[in-house]
Amino acid sequence: MSVKSTVLIDGGGGNSVNIIQTGVASTNGHEADVNILGATNTVDIKQGGGVDSKVISTITGSGNTLLIRSNHQ
């Protein structure tokens, strides 16, 4: 299993990003790409299990909340 996380934050402070990747996955593993342009945003991504998962998220603006669960308990 491979895991990969990329986080790019531009244009503001007070952002929070939490990424948890667990499990055996398959050939490609788990991947999370987060791009934030703004301030005080919250991102919580949990990927797990035996199936590959890829999350690509872009947040523009301030005060947003993004919660993603992909095969994670």
Q: Provide the residue-wise pLDDT of the chain in tens; the chain has 73 residues.
A: 688 999 999 988 999 999 999 988 888 899 999 999 999 999 999 999 888 999 999 999 999 999 999 887 6
- pLDDT at residue 26, as a whole number: 86
What strands, in cross-sheet order, belong to the sheet with 16-21?
Answer: 16-21, 42-47, 65-70
The pair of three-digit structure tokens given for residue 23, joined into one six-digit string = 């499990």
The tokens describing 36, both together, are: 């934030």
Q: How far apart are CA 30 and CA 42, in angstroms?
A: 20
**pLDDT given for residue 69 in this prediction:** 94
The angle subtended at Cα 20 by Cα 50 and Cα 41, nearest 5°, is 135
Looking at residue 57, its pLDDT comes to 96
- The pLDDT score that the predictor gives to residue 73 is 64
